[in-house]
Structure 1
Amino acid sequence: MSKSIKEFSLHYDPINESNTFTSGDIVEGRVVLEVIKEIKVDSFFVKLTGDAHVSWTEGSGDDETTYSDHERYFKLKQYFIQESSKKGEGEKNTTLIDGETYGPVISPGCHVFPFRFQLPKQNMPPSFKGFHGSVKYVLTVKLSRPWKSTSSTHTELNFVLRNDGTNDHLLQPQSGTQDKKMKLFGSGKMSVTVTTEKTGYMQGETIKVFVDIDNSSSRDVKLKYSLKQLQTFIAGKSTNRGHKDIVKETRDRIPSGEKSKFIVDMALPHDLTVTFENCRILKVQYELKVYLDVSFASDPEVRFPVVILPAEQQCPPWQGPPGGFQPYPPPQPNLVPYPGELPPPPAGLYPNLYDPTVLPFPGTAAGVYPNPHAIQPGFHPDPSAPVYDPNQSTI
């Protein structure tokens, strides 16, 4: 950091105890800039972006190939100071947000620059980091000065899906049976019947699985089951898949000639990534697998798709800031507003989403901020059951 700048930091206000945001929410915060001596600024802005990116490499040496792709959901930008030569210019795929603007010279002292964005009211995937890609929602602030390197800092938001109820088809039970007749290293047959109460489960919920085993063979078997997260990455015509075990356990041995019934409880983590397929290049799905482990023979198995839904109360309301949170003081008087306003935002990715009557206006920089806890209504479609193809599974 430059010797002239003592502090350059970015802060946003949490709107719930879980520190999460969803479609339509308001993101408010402030940039704190403390300078030791007067500085001249070319450009000073904060932006909020939502992006998905995938990348992986296959082969080696001369045959090495890298596959990658990118998907942008939005780019919102608010200028505090903008170069005079670029005022009024539109930015490709960017929605400019009106806010307080200031002159190009910043006096010594500590200054606080408030910002306010509204997340687009559209169906976007949740924040996620996988084996070969991620979905990120990032706040970034940049300060450019003549003949100086650009100062920049950023922070990520945790974006989640809103639970607006469960689709009826996700409440339907699932059931399947698999038989196996022993030919080598044994005789007789065995069967396993698996039933679940429904298809969709919320984060933190317990999956209850009913297993009925008839071991009429001459071999002892073991009951095993797993819940796997399936990650799919897509770049053009190339696809890369991977999986991660969420639950993987072995239960009691079932001796030859016996019948057994089991009730299996799988507790889902509260922070488990929800099922999402609304990203063109990255998808997350889940598969439940129940099988009988038979030594030196193929295992009879039953597989079901499982849809993980957002918790019913993903963002519990709260009445005040978390403990220890101290708001920054209002801007100092020596930070003089720039005369006039920024030009109205050009037609961008999401026109008509922002009501200028609730956005900051010249004069609000004195520390009067709108209610940061307001949650805006919006349309948030429920996740749907994935198109299930066992042949694509990596389990």
Structure 2
Amino acid sequence: MQRSIKELSVRYDPINETNTFTNGDIVEGRVVLEVTKEINVENLFVKLTGDADVRWTEGSGDDERSYSDHERYFKQKQYFIQDSSKKGQCEKNTTLVSGETYGSVIKPGSHVFPFRFQLPQQNMPPTFKGFHGWVKYIVMVKLKRSWKPTSSAQAEINFAPRNFGTNDHLLQPQSGTEDKKMKLFGSGKMSMTVTTDKTGYMLGEIIRVSVDIDNSSSRDIKLKYSLKQLQTFIAGRSTTHAHKDIVKETKDCIPSGGKTRFVVDIKLPHDIMVTIENCRIIKVQYELKVYLDVSFASDPTVKFPVVIIPPLQQCPPWHDPPPPYMPPQPNLVPYPGGAAPPPAGLYPNLYDPVPPYPGTAAGTFPNPNAMLPGFHPAPSAPVYDLNQSTKESFPNAPH
């Protein structure tokens, strides 16, 4: 039997070359619905959500335990078609956005429904996928009919918090010294002083590390260093950790009686995750470790935290900042569970305050998702020749 819904997809317009959104940006796009026969729709809506989620298991068999937690940052919803009996009702923890509405009867053909959201101006973590959790910003469409399974499709957007400058404490250099006196398998002592040029770095920057070594021992030693990413996942009072090495290197040997200075440049990749400290259930941190490799003895080690922030984003070249696009917000989103907002300073804010206008104007770059000529929104869902439609389908997701 032929399915009545041939396509249900959601597409949004890229906002810049990297297709990355930030605080206050406008997310515009369209829902495409193609049906092969007339259908009656109870609800058709698109929503934009921001969420963090963690889950993991420990043990096995009868001792296996599962842990999970969730944090929602916002939910905005725009209705195209709504059950008349529910119109005007408040929806918990949801910001309702007004837009064009359509009749509940959908004729055969391909139909386009435009939407427009604005990302909140609040301090939210970046898009992230880790070992035991994620942070996602998703545009999802749902279509509900009587006595039929709910149809849905979604698309993820990449979000990075706005950074208009670097906080003063991130510009501070770091320094540490470690000494070791040889007792077994050798004599004398060795010392190492490590200095970094600052504490915080943007993606793509170079971490410059100076290492002064005095090997007054009877042993030859090697200088080693690493940059490690540490992921922490939190569910209630339980935590689990994961890590991965970003850089791991060994320098030349320092012979007995030798003194030397190494200047090490560590280039940060552009594709690693920035530091996350503004999420209640997920932390992403970095540790720089510099140590002397001494055979059959403990290694003198200096460790520093490293903060990685998004690249500096430029303001658009407006002569005067335009007023922000503020969709109607009859239901403001409270913090999860109705709790009060966390006190200032509870989570370190690595980013300067967000300005009161969108970061980048939509339409600056070509839109690869643009509809072909002939697709135009209209007060009632328009019908088009199925043979002339061009589609980029997303798989239907279960309800």
Normalising by structure 2, we get a TM-score of 0.81
SS of the residue 2:273 aligns to? coil
Per-residue CA deviation, residues 74-97 of structure 1 (Å, 9 max, x unaligned), is 011111111122112211111111
**Residue aligning to 2:86:** 86
Distance (whole Å) between structure 2 residues aligned to residue 69 and residue 79 of structure 1: 29
Per-residue CA deviation, residues 147-196 of structure 1 (Å, 9 max, x unaligned), is 22211111111110111111111111111110011111111111111001
Distance (whole Å) between structure 1 residues aligned to residue 202 and residue 244 of structure 2: 19
Distance (whole Å) between structure 1 residues aligned to residue 378 and residue 21 of structure 2: 30
Per-residue CA deviation, residues 195-248 of structure 1 (Å, 9 max, x unaligned), is 011101111101010011111111111111011111111111111112111111
Distance (whole Å) between structure 2 residues aligned to residue 320 and residue 134 of structure 1: 30
**Residue aligning to 1:57:** 57
Structure 1 unaligned residues grouped into runs of 5+: 337-395
Distance (whole Å) between structure 2 residues aligned to residue 102 and residue 330 of structure 1: 14
**Residue aligning to 1:327:** 371
Distance 1:212 1:2, change over 3 A: farther
**Residue aligning to 2:226:** 226
Distance (whole Å) between structure 1 residues aligned to residue 48 and residue 237 of structure 2: 30
After TM superposition, where is structure 1 displaced by more than 2 Å over at least 4 residues in a row? 313-328, 331-336
Distance (whole Å) between structure 1 residues aligned to residue 271 and residue 313 of structure 2: 13
Distance 1:324 1:19, change over 3 A: closer
Distance (whole Å) between structure 1 residues aligned to residue 196 and residue 263 of structure 2: 10
8 Å CA contact 2:13–2:369 kept in 1: the answer is no
Aligned length: 336
One-letter amino acid matched to 2:164: D
Distance 1:94 1:244, change over 3 A: same
Distance 1:134 1:199, change over 3 A: same
Structure 2 unaligned residues grouped into runs of 5+: 317-359, 383-399
**Residue aligning to 1:4:** 4
Per-residue CA deviation, residues 272-326 of structure 1 (Å, 9 max, x unaligned), is 2111211111111111000001111100010111111110137986974337553
Q: Given the alignment of the two structures, is residue 205 of structure 1 paired with residue 249 of structure 2, yes or no?
A: no
8 Å CA contact 2:285–2:307 kept in 1: the answer is yes
Distance (whole Å) between structure 2 residues aligned to residue 267 and residue 151 of structure 1: 46
One-letter amino acid matched to 2:270: H
**Residue aligning to 1:390:** none
**Residue aligning to 1:216:** 216
| TM-fit CA distance, 1:270 | 1.3
Distance (whole Å) between structure 1 residues aligned to residue 51 and residue 364 of structure 2: 31
**CA RMSD, aligned part only?**
1.9
| TM-fit CA distance, 1:3 | 1.4
SS of the residue 1:158 aligns to? strand
| TM-fit CA distance, 1:332 | 6.1
| TM-fit CA distance, 1:335 | 2.3
8 Å CA contact 1:80–1:113 kept in 2: the answer is yes
Distance (whole Å) between structure 1 residues aligned to residue 76 and residue 221 of structure 2: 58
Distance (whole Å) between structure 2 residues aligned to residue 323 and residue 285 of structure 1: 35
| TM-fit CA distance, 1:327 | 3.0
**Residue aligning to 1:117:** 117
**Residue aligning to 1:34:** 34
Distance 1:323 1:80, change over 3 A: closer
Distance (whole Å) between structure 2 residues aligned to residue 265 and residue 158 of structure 1: 30
**Residue aligning to 1:283:** 283
**Residue aligning to 2:254:** 254
Distance (whole Å) between structure 2 residues aligned to residue 334 and residue 232 of structure 1: 49
One-letter amino acid matched to 1:304: F
Distance (whole Å) between structure 1 residues aligned to residue 2 and residue 219 of structure 2: 74
| TM-fit CA distance, 1:257 | 1.2
One-letter amino acid matched to 2:194: V
Distance 1:133 1:334, change over 3 A: closer
SS of the residue 1:285 aligns to? strand
One-letter amino acid matched to 1:306: V
Distance (whole Å) between structure 1 residues aligned to residue 315 and residue 110 of structure 2: 34
8 Å CA contact 1:20–1:315 kept in 2: the answer is no
8 Å CA contact 1:195–1:210 kept in 2: the answer is yes
